[in-house]
Structure 1
Amino acid sequence: MADIIQLLPDHVANQIAAGEVVQRPASVVKELLENAIDAGATTIKLIIKDAGKTLIQVIDDGKGMSVTDARLCFERHATSKIKSADDLFQLNTKGFRGEALASIAAIAHIELKTKQAGDDVGTAIVIEGGSVTSQEVVVTPQGTSVSVKNLFFNIPARRNFLKSNAVELRHIIDEFHRVALVHSDINFVLYNNGSETFNLPVSNYRQRIVNIFGTKTNEKLVPVDEDTEVLKISGFVGKPEFAKKTRGEQYFFVNNRFIKSAYLNHAIASAFDGLLKSGTHASYFLYLTVDPQTIDINIHPTKTEIKFDDEHTLYALLRSAVKHSLGQFNIAPVLDFERDASLDTPYNFERKQTNSPTIEVDRSFNPFVADDRPVKAPSPVSTSPSKSYSYKKESTSNWESLYVGLESKSNNESQEFSEVHFESDQTTASIFNDEKEVEQTHTTYQLHNKYIVSTIKSGMLLIDQHRAHQRILYEDFLKNMTIKEAISQQLLFPLELHFSVKEIEILKQLKEDLEHTGFVFSSVLNESVEITGVPVSVPESEVSIILEQLISDVENEVPDAHFSATDLLAKSMAKSLAIKTGQSLKKDEQEHLVNKLFACKEPNVTPTNKTTFITMSVDELDKKFI
């Protein structure tokens, strides 16, 4: 029988490896930034065009490479980080397996320029699809510049799986944040399509967080600092009152490497137990330092998952450290049995006799008697004698003259006002469109402030009020955005809301659709938006919640070019504004909800395809009693 096992060609092996390392342009950004950091750079520039599909360029001022290293770095498993298997447990660098550049070179056009500090000239190498097309000497500054062009040019199927530019750019910014947050001693600059998006100067950790997420972030941070033999914890957690519905601002760094850990995230959530509102998540930026021998970071191609030797100890330490910080800075409620004497109520006059107030009344005063003598005014309620105020009462002897001529005047006016027209009250339309002449044929009941029970000919109808209202609002918003005739309610005072740069970019993309629903934006800046008008059905206090929920939905559902942003916006606003479970409804509100639901095009399901109501026939009820 013929042999069937064979070695794969290098270009095929590289493309397979690229499938593990490079999922999207953001993966290339992560690898190139980490290489620049390992090279000892103090300034790193990231240049993006068309969300990385056309160009990803990283320029650093690190130590550079020699001619041999520049050529060798694109070979598979060529690395300067490890020399033996034991080095895998003593890693202090970002990359170590030597797969990144070889994988990227197999699926893109790469141009590399590099020069070491002591050399007069540098080296330029051009690679297309894994093959070196040119290598020459060039004049270039110290450091390395790597340009990745036309990503996935030779794998059209992979390129078709990429999302829209807006979505891919958000992933790139996420990776940029993860690298920049942990290296505050490096100056990072991000250019997107020729414009500067981020310029992060050298600073401390707190200032780096503020520079990325906005100036308002500074007042939200609570420092965490704990140093033990097993683990060193530093960083910040967000105050409970600033918790968001999104998980975007949650960062764990272990030995200067961003990781994802649901187990450690649960430790933070348990530390905030009882302090957060339902459905909200606390922000945290925590830097953990452990012995490299106690972790294994080589279990995932992207190295975002780490295996710990003793997870239970880390869990307990992390939970107690966060809880201690919240209590230390008076964020968490505590019982204080040591009373501060300066706050006690003084009782110096406790045993002194109180004097009852006296009221002086002039009992001889008569308003119907003319008297020219001064009269003493009543004194205010006081125990001390008050000053006397005298006045002279006017004479009332000629009171009959006040009515002279009134009779003739009233006769003349009666002729002028022979016809009197009364202005009718302005009728205001009810939001429930009630008409008393129409006799209500359906009877509704509210069950546990969650379900609405209504009778039908065949039996009984059970409606989920939250889901039903979602369907009603969804179709209303979708109609308003489609015909662009939404009614806006102007605010007395403009509403200013603060967001991070990434969230502002999302709002800019949705601004036009939001305006079609009734929002009016007076200004959209780098870290804030000013709103002067909101839809009629949206209370002012709910605006920030709606926009946060909208940003969360856009980030999580990741709509691509084939997905309707209008539809997503309508779904998100309907979910935020729908009446909640536990809200009591009056009879007319219940009936209006039922009538509006069955006036919808698809009353059976919510915008997310969940059932809105169920029916139970009389026969089914009869079977329950058998």
Structure 2
Amino acid sequence: MAKISRLPDTVANKISAGEVVQRPASVIKELLENAIDAGASRITVMVKDAGKELIRVIDNGSGMSREDALLSVERFATSKISGVEDLDTLMSLGFRGEALASISSVSHFELKTRESSSALALRFRYEGGSLLEESEVSGEEGTSVSVKNLFYNVPARRKFLKSNATEFRHIFETVRALALAYGDIEWRMYSDDEELFHFRNPDIRERLDYFYGTDFSEGLLAITEENDYLSIHGFIGKPGMMKRHKSDQLFYINRRIIQNRMLSQALQQAYGELLAERQAPFAMLFLGIEPSRVDVNVHPAKLEVKFEDERSVRNMFYPVIKRAVQLHDFSPDLSAAPLQGAPAGELRQEDEALYRRLMYHERPGRMSTTDELYEGFRENSLASGSRQRHEPPRQEEIFPVREAEERWRKSSVASAGDEVLTTVLQSRFQDDDSGTEPGGAEPKIWQLHNKYIICQIKNGMMIIDQHVAHERVLYERALDVMNQNVPNSQQLLFPQKVELRQWEYEVFEDIRDDLYRLGFNLRDFGSRTVMIEGIPQDVRSGTEVTILQDMISGYQENASKLKLEKRDNLAKSYSCRNAIMAGQKLSLEEMRSLIDNLFATRVPYSCPHGRPVIIKLMLDQLDRMFGRT
């Protein structure tokens, strides 16, 4: 007697449901994808008890005939493909033919559908995968699917569902992802008979602001880039919008919501030091690629994909995001005000097509970038003072300008379409404590509580944290010095001796070569004792021993927590320990030199650890605060 037997369809469907239907949100996703594939222009989602009692999806799509309706609930029955070769040209969201069979096998399932050519709708009622009733009823064109008592016949699966709050959050995130991707569809959602939203127009801003908060869309940077292989369209957020979960990173392949670790990591790396520890950038990015170059048939849930050439995708994706991040003014405003240049409710011309449909049609590659802060400095300075360019600080000043910074200044800034900035503040000041210009003019730059630097810009004021600003300058300078072997050491007249503990000496041995490249001339002097004979030019006299010990301590702490690359770790530790501190009084010349050097860096808006360096307070914000509207 044979030991192997074919499982009944009802059993096979229940087993399959374990992969396809993991929770109520899985049901929602499959039903919504079917509605979209059916060409619906209106979709309504209704849930009760976080989907455990009822899930209903109503669409006005093409509907189905009796034969198709019956087949749709059969396993491996689909209208999306007819052969394996169709997977190479697949543009529909569904194609596996498993969803409705799996859903109906673990619920009380009802399907009502009507084609435009039929006078009455067809109604089919299933229980545990078995057809119980078929009838003709009145109904609108399209399809309505009701799923009641999910997992009623699989108690173990129902028992492992989470709280209503958790399950509803997953449902809401699923609906949100598709409502944002398909702006051409009118979406409505109810929870326990309460209407949550009703989107009647395709304005992506309205939807983003509903899901993420008032004026959220005003703080996003639009991205558009494409070539013959890949197109990238969508939005990324400012660092001030970061403290979010990675569920707020939405990636779409040909308008299919996906999860992909490579894209998420590339996005994180592109932001670099703009992110503090455990922060994740907001992103809603649409990638368009030939269907034959991506495999969506990886998992029954269809969330995972495999690229034919993942390296090529990353090599285009990463630089596009990195370039947008580096060229954009990410300095936070003091209050949540709309971005300059785009009145509320009005689309910028360059983003109009992107906001309207987020489709992948041919257009020249471009990227939305602004340099409002630089522009404000330049225009304010030229208007208020001499147009003669201020001479850059000399090498012997407290914050010297490095040759590497000058090279970057001439290349990156110039390529962004701005004049080369050899100085930010071009007005001349008296080098005294008053902060006033000659002739008694109003002050344009001053120090607040020996901690913050206040600067006037064209449309308001800018506040700079002097410590983290100097950190940013020292960090980038340290990386340049180590990577380019730029001479950076000055010999000490009297060498300093430092005794290291065992763990400190082990760390020292690990980073000795990079310390030398950074400018530390160190010599062994007995057991775990080191003689400091030369130091980088930025190290203040009298702090040589403390700086070295603090750097070793900071390096070890970063290595255990953040897993940084060695030189990046060393540069972070060096800049943090050697930067000027809050409470240190600066002269006008020192403040001006610090600002000049800050805007020569590649990322002037955050310190190496992700803290903001600059905050802007605009005149219109002040006007609103004082009621001058």
Aligned counterpart for 1:343 among listed residues 362, 381, 405:
381
| Equivalent residue number for residue 131 of structure 1 | 130
Displacement of 1:90 after TM fit?
1.1
* Residues 349, 101 of structure 1: alpha-carbon distance in 2 compared, 3 angstrom cutoff: closer
Displacement of 1:253 after TM fit?
0.5
Q: How does 1:183-332 map to 2 (within 5 A)?
A: 183-331=182-330
Question: 2 CA distance for matches of 1:216 and 1:63?
Answer: 37
For 1:11, give the aligned amino acid: T
For 2:49, give the aligned amino acid: D
Question: 1 CA distance for matches of 2:134 and 2:379?
Answer: 80
Displacement of 1:171 after TM fit?
1.0
For 2:123, give the aligned amino acid: A
* Residues 20, 347 of structure 1: alpha-carbon distance in 2 compared, 3 angstrom cutoff: closer
What runs of 5+ residues in structure 1 fail to find an aligned partner? 351-381, 383-447, 449-581, 583-626
| Equivalent residue number for residue 53 of structure 1 | 52
Question: 2 CA distance for matches of 1:112 and 1:36?
Answer: 13
For 2:86, give the aligned amino acid: D
For 2:208, give the aligned amino acid: I
Counterpart contact for 1:205–1:235, Cα < 8 Å: no
* Residues 277, 68 of structure 1: alpha-carbon distance in 2 compared, 3 angstrom cutoff: same
Question: 2 CA distance for matches of 1:306 and 1:322?
Answer: 21
Question: 1 CA distance for matches of 2:142 and 2:219?
Answer: 38
Structure 1: which 4+ aligned runs deviate by more than 4 Å?
332-337, 339-342, 347-350
SS for the counterpart of 1:274 is helix
Displacement of 1:341 after TM fit?
7.9
Counterpart contact for 2:107–2:151, Cα < 8 Å: yes
Q: Which has the larger radius of gyration?
A: 1
| Equivalent residue number for residue 142 of structure 1 | 141
Q: How does 1:327-406 map to 2 (within 5 A)?
A: 327-331=326-330, 343-344=381-382, 346-347=385-386
Displacement of 1:194 after TM fit?
0.7
Question: 2 CA distance for matches of 1:322 and 1:109?
Answer: 46
Q: How does 1:490-505 map to 2 (within 5 A)?
A: none
Q: TM-score, normalised by structure 1?
A: 0.54
Question: 1 CA distance for matches of 2:374 and 2:121?
Answer: 67
Counterpart contact for 1:245–1:279, Cα < 8 Å: no
Counterpart contact for 1:200–1:211, Cα < 8 Å: no
Counterpart contact for 1:76–1:99, Cα < 8 Å: yes
Q: TM-score, normalised by structure 2?
A: 0.53
Counterpart contact for 1:268–1:322, Cα < 8 Å: yes
* Identical-pair percentage: 43
Counterpart contact for 2:237–2:283, Cα < 8 Å: yes
* Residues 40, 342 of structure 1: alpha-carbon distance in 2 compared, 3 angstrom cutoff: same
Displacement of 1:138 after TM fit?
1.1
SS for the counterpart of 2:252 is strand
* Residues 341, 114 of structure 1: alpha-carbon distance in 2 compared, 3 angstrom cutoff: closer
* Residues 341, 31 of structure 1: alpha-carbon distance in 2 compared, 3 angstrom cutoff: closer
Question: 2 CA distance for matches of 1:245 and 1:301?
Answer: 28
Residues 303-338 of structure 1 show CA distances to partners (whole Å, capped at 9, x for unaligned) of 11100011112112111111222344333899989x
For 1:284, give the aligned amino acid: A
Counterpart contact for 1:115–1:122, Cα < 8 Å: yes
| Equivalent residue number for residue 463 of structure 1 | none
Instruction: Single out whichever of 244-253 and 119-128 deviates more from structure 2.
Output: 244-253
Q: How does 1:431-442 map to 2 (within 5 A)?
A: none
* Residues 336, 101 of structure 1: alpha-carbon distance in 2 compared, 3 angstrom cutoff: same
For 2:25, give the aligned amino acid: A
* Structure of greater relative contact order (alpha carbons < 8 Å, 6+ residues apart): 2
For 1:23, give the aligned amino acid: Q
SS for the counterpart of 1:273 is helix
Residues 102-150 of structure 1 show CA distances to partners (whole Å, capped at 9, x for unaligned) of 0111111111111001111110111111111111111111011110011
SS for the counterpart of 1:215 is coil
